[in-house]
Structure 1
Amino acid sequence: MSSEQIARYIVGFSWLYHGIFPKLLHVAPLEKAMTASLGFSDEISYLITKLAGLGELIFGLIFIIFYKNRTVVMLNIAGLFGLLFFVAILQPQLLVGAFNPITTNIPLIGLSFILLGRLQARE
Structure 2
Amino acid sequence: MLGNNHGYIQLARYIVSLSWIYHGFFPKLYHVAPLEKLMTGSAGFSAEVSDLITRSAGVAEIIFGLCLFVFYKHKHLVTLNILALIGLLLAVVVMQPQLLIEAFNPVTTNLPLIALSFIWLKEIKLQNNRYL
Q: TM-score range by the shorter chain?
A: over 0.9
Q: Identify the residue that residue 57 of structure 2 maps to in structure 1.
A: 52
The residue type equivalent to 1:4 in the other structure is I
Aligned-partner SS, 2:103: coil
Q: Identify the residue that residue 68 of structure 1 maps to in structure 2.
A: 73
1:16 maps to 2:17? no
Please report how far the alpha carbon of residue 120 of structure 1 lies from its aligned counterpart in structure 2 after TM superposition. Answer: 1.4
From 110, 121, 124, give the equivalent of 1:116: 121
Gaps of 5+ in 2: 1-5
2:9, 2:124 within 8 Å by CA — same for their partners in 1? no
Aligned positions, number = 123
Please report how far the alpha carbon of residue 2 of structure 1 lies from its aligned counterpart in structure 2 after TM superposition. Answer: 1.4
- Map 1:18-97; keep pairs closer than 5 Å: 18-97=23-102
Please report how far the alpha carbon of residue 119 of structure 1 lies from its aligned counterpart in structure 2 after TM superposition. Answer: 1.3
Describe the superposition over 1:81-120 as per-residue Cα deviations: whole angstroms up to 9, x where unpaired. Answer: 0000000100000000110000010000000000111111
From 95, 106, 112, give the equivalent of 1:101: 106
Distance 1:121 1:3 in 2: 12
2:92, 2:100 within 8 Å by CA — same for their partners in 1? yes
Flag the structure with larger Rg: 2
Distance 1:40 1:33 in 2: 10
Please report how far the alpha carbon of residue 4 of structure 1 lies from its aligned counterpart in structure 2 after TM superposition. Answer: 1.6
Aligned-partner SS, 2:104: coil
Residue identity over aligned pairs, in percent, reads 59
Please report how far the alpha carbon of residue 3 of structure 1 lies from its aligned counterpart in structure 2 after TM superposition. Answer: 2.1
CA RMSD of aligned residues (A): 0.9
Aligned-partner SS, 1:116: helix
Please report how far the alpha carbon of residue 11 of structure 1 lies from its aligned counterpart in structure 2 after TM superposition. Answer: 0.1
Gaps of 5+ in 1: none
**TM-score normalised to structure 2 length:** 0.91
